[in-house]
Amino acid sequence: MATETPPRPPKRRDNPEGRMPLREHLLELRKRVTIAAIAVILGSVAGWYLYDPVFNYITEPIKAAQAAGEKVSINFGQVGSAFDLKLKMSVWIGIILASPVWIFELWAFITPGLTKKERRYALGFVAVAVPLFLAGVYLSSFFIPNVFTFFTSFTPEGGSNIISADVYLGFVMRTVLAFGIAFLLPVVLVALNLAGLLAGRSVLKAWRWVTVLCFTFAAVATPTPDITSMFLLALPMLALFAIAIAVCMLNDKRRAKGDPQYAGLSDDEASAL
């Protein structure tokens, strides 16, 4: 008697909603973090060889102050301070050089929660995020000399500024990364909106707080009596946030047309999920 062959299981279809169990999310996170870490390590190796020109560049404000007759110098207080400084700066350079990779990996971790169509939009925003981050890093180079000059101007007559190399490097690193992240935040808002975690109307309602935070950040980053410097930093940030809010609102309208059952929901009303 012939036995019937069992039916073949259906082929696995793509998951249009991109849903993943918690375990797969954690494995995906580990994968993305590992790739980003390898990129930073490789960038740090390159940063080791770029140390001398970068160090000469970031110490230009000190050299300018010395040329102006001020008693300013950078100090290596311990035997291993020079080596520690080179190691830290190499990692710092590596983070900047690897920014295209770790920004992409951040998006790649988010995209499993997006639909196939939204993933295509996400790739476009990755192409925007990297130049914005690098633009913030580049813009910081114009403000660091002004901030340095402002603070050293309080040195009393007859005194001298002997600046620790670690302290000075920490000041430069925090400023550079703060500028880069500040220019990256609008893209993060769009990412959260694409993932369905943040509504455009919620961001629009907080425009007053966004304005205050932008000007506060600009005031802290440019603590000089010249108010023009503050506006030169705050206005581009506000423009980027305005563009991000507009993109979020347009995406909400597009999503509402595709899913009419969610079109009438307010920001505080729970969905069927």
Q: What does the angle CA 29 – CA 34 – CA 40 come to, to the nearest 5 degrees?
A: 125
Q: Which of 125, 97, 98, 101 is nearest to 111 (CA)?
A: 125
Q: Whats the size of the chain, residue-wise?
A: 273
Would the pLDDT of 255 be above 80?
A: no
Residue type, 18: G
pLDDT band at 215 (very low <50, low <70, confident <90, very high): confident
Would the pLDDT of 79 be above 60?
A: yes
CA 103 – CA 180 distance, rounded (Å) = 12
Which pLDDT value is given to residue 104? Answer: 80
User: Do residues 20 and 28 make contact, with C-beta atoms less than 8 angstroms apart?
Assistant: yes
Report residue 241 as tokens. Answer: 């946030």
Which pLDDT value is given to residue 270? Answer: 41
CA 133 – CA 174 distance, rounded (Å) = 14
pLDDT band at 226 (very low <50, low <70, confident <90, very high): low
CA 205 – CA 202 distance, rounded (Å) = 5
pLDDT band at 171 (very low <50, low <70, confident <90, very high): confident
| Helix (H/G/I), strand (E/B), else coil: 164 | strand
CA 30 – CA 35 distance, rounded (Å) = 9
Average pLDDT over residues 140-148: 81
Average pLDDT over residues 119-144: 78
CA 175 – CA 152 distance, rounded (Å) = 17
* Averaged confidence pLDDT in the chain: 76
CA 77 – CA 269 distance, rounded (Å) = 59
Would the pLDDT of 214 be above 60?
A: yes
